[in-house]
Structure 1
Amino acid sequence: MSFASLGLPAPLLNALSSQGLLQPTPVQAAAIPAALQGRDVLAQAPTGSGKTLAFGLPLLAQYQAKSTRQPAALVLLPTRELAAQVGEQLHALALAQGSKLKLVVAYGGVAINPQLMALRGGADIVVATPGRLLDLVEHNGLALGRLQTLVLDEADRLLDMGFAAELQRILALLPAQRQTLLFSATFPDDVNTLAAQWLRDPLRIQVAGADQVAPAITQRTMLVDEERRTALLIQLLKQEDWAQLLVFIGTHRLADKLAVRLQQAGISAAALHGELSQGRRSQTLAGFKAGHLRVLLATDVAARGIDIAELPAVLNYDLPRSATDYQHRIGRTGRAGASGLAISFVTPASEAHFRLIEKRQGQRVARETLEGFAPQAPAPLNAAGQHDGKGGIKGKRMSKKDKLRAAAAQAAGTAGQDDGE
């Protein structure tokens, strides 16, 4: 199948060809014809499957230089980096097809006045994060009453990051008669609830493997004591030939600290997190994409906008809080059919947590140890005083079964004390 068979106009087909894009991915092949017909679309597809063009190409085809003060299309995304990335991709295609379409990208963390200036005279397509979009509305920078198409991209992340209230405020500003395209890598209950409220008789698309790890990604797990993770990371960087490595860190303070440690070891590295200014974040990410940095140490929020076509490897220095986050993280590598490597450091304390991640993704990952780094610390006991290998996906809360076991053990102990009195 080719893009030409999907009903896209010739200038846009030429723009795709100039960028070496000749064949659509499965989610693009399914979503584009329906979107061009004006139908609502509800699509589940894994990270790296081509969701941006699945909604972006219909927008570029439908809304050509029709600027009014009220945009024809709105794309909502969870992070600044992702908004900037989508905006760049759509702008490049618009230029390549010779379009006069006006596209404005808006996100927080930077001054609002330049974005208000950019919206003077209107815009065809606005790409924005929810909070900044509402700021622009309050400043009379744009109105949404005549919006024709709404795109919710990374819907699961929008909700995970606490944008539910903002989305409801935005919904109240939108016309009832509109087209809505919703894309998400996963479909937990809150995303299904959002879809039921926002979409009308949508075409449902589920790309095969959307709930599983991409087969092109090799997963490895390395056992190590918590305090030796930095030394192990440095050792791996010395012995492996990774041109680039994206490392996921739990906190911005640890990311900054680890960046200094790697720099002291002669490894070019930088931290990327939400506490940095937008200018600093953009500069750091650009340096990594250009290959000036070998290692990028990123928190989950900052890493959502990272899209590097041939990123060879990612590493979980800290494990993610959920199996869904794990899928998003390792999906940064192995994109667009390329092979990738995902390594996770597992400490004695996090072993139970990782087992549940494995269970949720339906895949067991073999445990490895590097010579000289085998863990020495024992696995922690649960409330019942057992090494039972169970834990909670989010945080360290006891599971229901663990609570029952603990209660039973406590009851048995109390009964024993009573018998001895």
Structure 2
Amino acid sequence: MLWERQKTSRSASGIPGLNPTEEKDGNLQDIVNQGSLHEFLASLHGQFGPVASFWFGGRPVVSLGSVDQLRQHINPNRTTDSFETMLKSLLGYQSGMGGGATEAVMRKKLYESAVNNTLEENFPLLLKLVEELVGKWKSFPKDQHTPLCAHLLGLAMKAVTQLALGDRFRNDAEVIGFRKNHEAIWSEIGKGYLDGSMEKSPIRKDHYESALAEMETVLMSVAKDRKGQRSQTAFVDALLQSNLTERQVMEDSMVFTLAGCVITANLCIWAVHFLSTSEEVQEKLHQELEDVLGSEPVSLDKIPQLRYFQQVLNETVRTAKLTPIAAQLQENEGKVDQHIIPKETLVIYALGVVLQDADTWNRPYKFDPDRFTEDSARKSFSLLGFSGNQACPELRFAYTVATVVLSTVVRQLKLHQVKGQVVEARSELVSTPKDDTWITVSRRS
């Protein structure tokens, strides 16, 4: 397990970094003091350079914080996704971790195929859900503040549950129950596990374990209800048609729905927020829609032609540091620069640090979709796992939903900032605004 504490030597193989502050907890208190693992890693790399070490509980961890060092470590043929690996480990799941390269390749292809099939089969439903939300926004008075987090998380919950788990979740009560358990689970694996605080609070731990058990029961029930169904319209249907065990189907459904909801919601939230700050970007998106779609609605086959939309979403992910952390367990002894990374070492990809590294990105804190016209920017982004074959299925799903949201919104509305609003990120497993983020909208003439 990636995040388990284990007995090991006190040496972190000579890699520069922090000694453990406490023998039992390592540098956990330092992480707490910095506010999040991302802020801790930013400080760590600022002090010790692009390859740095620290202690998570009783084990040494190596963090990589620049494109050059990640390029040396990332295997383009890797069969496991670093974000999924980290999430499964935090949940205590084993399936798909260590079953051999052949099994991992088959699982990855199955997972990706399930996502693609789900989007193809349910694209009209996705359009309908987005149109309902935009219709609500159009009905608002011009100066009314629209809460992005509340609305777009609600959209993500409806879209992901219905597309992943089927029409049982057209019932609002089912979605509300899912959301309650989702929030209890995600709040702990996003923060409580990483800083060790949940283990010190029996009440929080019981609440988390109860929510996880209830969510697992729901997912097992969904799988049972849909087993033997001829049509494959939902993500879970494709898993059920494979040779996965019931437990594996449940775990993969858990990972997809947990991560899919949060990544989709926050990609949409940040994208709409950044658009509200730039009328120029909104108009360029509107012009691309006119050029590619004319008066037709957006369709799955036309999305690849919306290249500026892709640039906007790439820049949203980069500027917001959407997924600031990923992790891999060092399967065999490795080397980065002159540093030896021993077998079984936990290696953190400090993606949030890399995404705002001034050596890689010109004016790294500026939202500038045009930077992705450059080949070097696209290659760096792909290497980090945010585009191309290395992108996790949940992020590809989120890109599709976000493209439908933005194309529908930009065609009908203009987005405006709320004056005086300060939007700050809370960097956990997925970057989320600390408070709800507000915009105002006006109809296009």
**TM-score, length-normalised on structure 1?**
0.26
Q: Which has the higher contact order (CA 8 A, sep 6+)?
A: 2
More strand by share: 1
Structure 2-normalised TM-score? 0.25
Which protein is bigger by CA-based radius of gyration?
A: 1
Task: Pick the structure with more helix per residue.
Answer: 2
